[in-house]
Amino acid sequence: MVLLPHTYQSAEYAPRLAVRLGAAYVASVSSATLDAGGVLSFSRAILQARLRAEVRPKRRLVVATVQIGAFGGHDPVELPERVFEVGRPADVERHREREILGREAAGAGGVDLPGAERIVTAGRGVGGPDEVSVAADLASALDAELGASRPVVDNGWLPREHQVGSSGHIVAPNLYVALGVSGSIQHLMGMSGSRVIVAVNRDPEAPIFSVAHYGIVADLHDVAPALTRLLLARRPG
């Protein structure tokens, strides 16, 4: 079995690798089970996370990509170091049919979402560009970085580098607070590995509550300022 993370880099070539190896291919798995008879199966979300499928490879060799955040971090395991010398494929030198011309940031830097201990995210539910401050104020009271869902970025309320989700940052902080985020699969893919997830949403059916450890069903414009006030009042000095 060949396991790769389901990143935008590896998920691009992983199916090609499966074809070349004559292997089965399963993308973006969230768990794997080996039953008593030694039969392997993978669980993965289908139909935009509305259902799950158990998928069984029919070939001896499997290439699978693993959904980011599906497995919590473990303490590093000490393994004996083994170095494999891999020869350089002969055809690397030939004319490049696919050439990287460069990389460009879609926005300016200055936000360290993946490294953040705590993140407060503004969803479309904050309401508009002037209301993003309710999330920003709570973020600063929590010493947190400020995140955003894709529509908040697409609408220009916050720059692209704040975006959390499959096409933004993949994060797994200690604390993730989602304000007015519905919980689409693309958003969940970016943050469901967080240790403690808090959601504030006025819709009790919002899918974000299915991953939240603490859910507040209320208007975020009432709850977020109340949280900010309490946190600031507790600060020493």
Ligand X SMILES: Cc1cc2nc3c(=O)[nH]c(=O)nc-3n(C[C@H](O)[C@H](O)[C@H](O)COP(=O)(O)OP(=O)(O)OC[C@H]3O[C@@H](n4cnc5c(N)ncnc54)[C@H](O)[C@@H]3O)c2cc1C
Does the footprint of other proteins cover residue 133 (CB under 8 A)?
no
Does the footprint of ligand X cover residue 194 (CB under 6 A)?
no
Smallest gap from Cβ 112 to ligand X, in A, equals: 17
Buried b (16+ CB within 10 A) or exposed e, 81-100: eeeeeeeeeeeeeeeeeeee
Smallest gap from Cβ 12 to other proteins, in A, equals: 4
What are 46's strand-pairing partners? Answer: 51
* Among 2, 55, 140, 151, contact with other proteins (rule: CB under 8 A): 55
Query: Which C-beta is closer to other proteins: that of 78 or that of 97?
Result: 97
Determine how many CB atoms are found less than 10 A away from the CB of residue 186.
Answer: 15
- Burial (0-12, 13-18, 19+ Cβ within 10 Å), 105: exposed
Question: In whole angstroms, what is the distance from residue 49 CA to residue 30 CA?
Answer: 11
- Residue in 58, 202, 228, 224 with CA at minimum distance from that of residue 141: 228
**Within 9-28, which residues bind other proteins (CB under 8 A)?**
9, 11-16, 18-20, 23-28
- Residue in 211, 196, 189 with CA at minimum distance from that of residue 30: 189
* Among 4, 124, 142, 151, contact with other proteins (rule: CB under 8 A): 142
Does the footprint of ligand X cover residue 168 (CB under 6 A)?
yes
**Choices 56-64, 74-82, 83-91, 121-129 (CB under 8 A): range interacting with other proteins:** 56-64
- Contact footprint for ligand X (CB under 6 A): 123-125, 149-152, 163-168, 180-182, 184, 186-187, 190, 200-203, 206, 219-221
